[in-house]
Structure 1
Amino acid sequence: MQSFIKIAVFNFQYEYAVLQLLLEQEGIRFFFQNETALGVMPFYTNAIGGIILKVHPEDVDDANQILDNFETRKNLHCV
């Protein structure tokens, strides 16, 4: 897992729930670092550095494309 590349950081789990499903559907190899710790202690996000999305080096381009599409979809943003 050390070779995985950081491509995004989130503060709370709800921010990436849909993104996680999109990555899984495309077969992207990824994991969220600090996910469990911040699930238990959500207000420690700044101290821990947030929830970090890390992707396998071979899947970085595909994951970045999915992330870009996810961020530009206005209908998925939380109010």
Structure 2
Amino acid sequence: MEHFVTAAVFTYPHEIAILKHLLQDAGIPFYFQNETMAAFAPLYANALGGIRLLVHPNDLPTVKDILDSFKYNNHLKIV
């Protein structure tokens, strides 16, 4: 995990719920830094820089593609 890079930053835990499954299905090793802090103290997680999606640099292009397709093809609306 020490060689992982930040692929994206999120504010709330619900923003990463489905993304976790997409990354697991693609077989990409990942880690969400500050995920636990955001679950029980959202304002502290924000102060720490948000929830960071960390991936291996070799997987970064694939992860960016997943993020782009998730962002623009997502019909889920969280209200």
TM-score scaled by length of structure 2:
0.90
Structure 1 residues not aligned, in runs of 5+: none
2:12 matches 1:15: no
Please report the RMSD computed on the Cα atoms of aligned residues, expressed in angstroms: 1.2
> Which has the larger helix fraction?
1
Instruction: Give the total of aligned pairs.
Output: 79
1:40-63 alpha-carbon deviations (Å, 9 max, x no partner): 211223211100000111211111
Q: CA deviation at 1:78?
A: 2.2
Percent sequence identity over matched residues?
Answer: 46
Q: CA deviation at 1:37?
A: 1.5
The answer for the alignment partner of 2:52 in structure 1 is 52
- Once superposed, which parts of structure 1, at least 4 consecutive aligned residues long, lie more than 2 Å away? 76-79
TM-score scaled by length of structure 1:
0.90
